[in-house]
Amino acid sequence: MNEAWVDRWNDRYSTEEFAYGEQPNHYLKTELEKLNPGKILFPAEGEGRNAVFAAKLGWDVSAFDISIEGKNKALQLAETNQVSIDYQVGELETLNYKPEQFDTIALIYAHFPAAIKSSYHKTFSNYLKKGGVIIFEAFSKNHLGYLAENEKVGGPKEIDMLFSIDEIKSDFPDYEVITLEEKEIELSEGLFHNGQGSVIRFVGKKK
């Protein structure tokens, strides 16, 4: 990833206020509370709101992001909530996660650059144990229409960084599909996710 991409996220996370709030994503919260705690990975975790929530539920939490400012905020939030999380900074290929290391992988608005997003998904799948669960929520390709009407809802402006149901089926083929849908939702998450948007939601169990 180029330096401009890293700088963008460091800039977003460098303020005192949490860009997407301190509370967990609603869909992540709902789905995670259905599972028994184990080892979980949060890619592109930003300021740590979801990772800290999982740790409070008793999960063994790993997280990563390209932003050192995101990590700093996440560790601050973890300390405030009296939990610990393993948070690394770097691109996925530089990190040392292992095959079948995790019981759950939570991809919450993990919008990676278009050129790598599918390969990253396949790598994440390799890190997941058989019987493990993917929890996914991110903006759909149809979200661009919502973003044009209301920039406060946030999300990428490049259609190739957004998702479709067919892409998820292609990236995660060997899964029992528990949920896979495109849905209009109302977001209220910190400074940068506010208003109606279109998302893909996916919960799948690895066969």
CATH of the domain at 173: 3.40.50.150
Burial profile 49-63: b = 16 or more Cβ within 10 angstroms, e = fewer: bbbbbbbebebebbb
Are 39 and 62 in contact by the 8 Å Cβ rule? The answer is yes
pLDDT of residue 2: 77
Torsion-angle region of 82 (φ positive above 0: left; ψ -120 to 50: alpha; else: beta): left
Residue numbers of the domain that contains 116: 3-206
Longest alpha-carbon distance in the chain = 43
Q: Which residues pair with 106 in a beta bridge?
A: 135
pLDDT of residue 80: 98
This prediction has a pTM of: 0.97
Low-confidence ranges of the chain (pLDDT < 50): none
pLDDT of residue 25: 98
pLDDT of residue 1: 66
- Which residue is associated with the tokens 């997407």? 20
Give me the number of domains the chain comprises: 1
- Closest by CA to 67, choosing from 43, 82, 46, 53, is 46
- Closest by CA to 28, choosing from 43, 11, 18, 10, is 43
